[in-house]
Every structure is written in C-alpha cells, then in structure tokens.
Structure 1
C-alpha cells in the first residue's frame, strides 16, 4: 500500500481546507472552485484524494502520520533543552550570589534562592510532563 492509498483523518482534511482557504485569500482560487474543493476535501477518504485537490497549487507536502510525529518531537526537544538550560544557568548564578554574600557576611542567612529556583523549576517540570503526555505517539507498523 502506498502513502497515497492510506486513509486520511479529519485533521488531514482540515489541514487541506486551511490550505485551500489561504489560496482563496491570495486569489489562486475563485469562490466556486473553493466551494467545490472544500466539499471534495470533506468527502476524501485517502491522502491521494486530498493530494488531488491541491495538485495545481503551490503547497507544502501533506504530513504523513509517522513523519508528522517524528517532526513534531524535534523542535519540542530543542525548546525543552533551552528552557531547562536557562533554568540551570540562573540557578547556578543565584546560588553563587547566595554563597558569596553568605561567606562575605559570615552567616548563612535566609535561603532566598529557593524562590527563584523552586517555582520556576516546578512550572518547567509541569509543562514538560504535560507536553510529553500530549505528544503524538509513533505508529507501529
């Protein structure tokens, strides 16, 4: 079975309708052409049928299920790495400041870095966990 013979999902149909709307807005399609293609998009059962609706229009490739899940994880991992690296760098800086002021005064004092490190780290952990729970799962094939 080729990719074009695979069954399309509702989100695939919606993606094509959004692309058709953009082409209507830029003047590549007339309103009757747009209406005809939108109706056909909602009736389409396969990627091939959806591809035919966009064949004469400039566009990006339709994302196939396996490719879409892999492509979606790479930017998220880079972003996760960046926000956690920022948190770690800031944590090291505030801890260094706390240690230097404590050594300079000769007493430990109130541990104020917990108000910088704790809430920010907790929010990052919750956000990262929520993204991973909602991430698309790779299909087994």
Structure 2
C-alpha cells in the first residue's frame, strides 16, 4: 500500500472516530443529565466515557492500519475502512451500554438519596387510576382484591 493510500485511510479513520465520539459525547451528556439535573456531573461522566472511546478506537485504528488487506491501494483502503466500521460499531454499542449502566447507577443513587420521594410524588400526581378500581376499594392503588365469594374486601382472618 502506498503512502498516500495509507495516509488517506488514517485520515478517514480519524474523522470517523472523532465524528462518532462527538455524537456519543453530546448525546451522552443529555442522556446522563436527565437523571438528577446535574449538568456538570453529566458532562464529566460523558467526557470520561468519550475519552475512553477515543483512546480505544484510535488504538484499534493504528492496529488495523498495519494489517495487510487487499492487494492494491483502493481495495486495501476499502477493506481496512470496512473492518474499522465494524469495530467502530462494536465500540459504539459498548459505549452506549456503559452510558446506560452509569445512568442506572445514578438513578438508583438519586432514588436512595431522595428516599424514593420522586416515585411517590409521580404516583400521587397521576390524574386518575390507570385501571378500573375493584368494586369495594377506592383510591389509585388498592391494597387487596375482594374475595370472590361475597364481593367484599379480602380479610386476613
């Protein structure tokens, strides 16, 4: 592979990685920011994950550039770009999974710190029951269903 083909592959690869990294960073920052409303923490976490994405995929790009694929310049560049795109898709999926895990941990932490108040507040703010209440029981969240024999509320005795 000639020097021009090699440099064009590296330029295309770096551009793809930087573009995908920016998409991950911007989307990840909004995705993580919706949990507890802390934009600084969300930006910091998204930046850390994006940095890991950039470093790992640029390393893979360097390794792919040394593999001999195709006989001439154009098939070699196209083959390497194909391999890079497959690796980039896998890295993107892994990064999105990491962001989802971070969001889940942050949601759990916010729930524990808030004492579950936000979930209770959402339940109280509901305009009405989501299902038809069972006869004999009122409210949004009936505790027990009535017995089938006499249509009265269930008793534990």
The TM-score normalised by the length of structure 1 is 0.30
The TM-score normalised by the length of structure 2 is 0.28
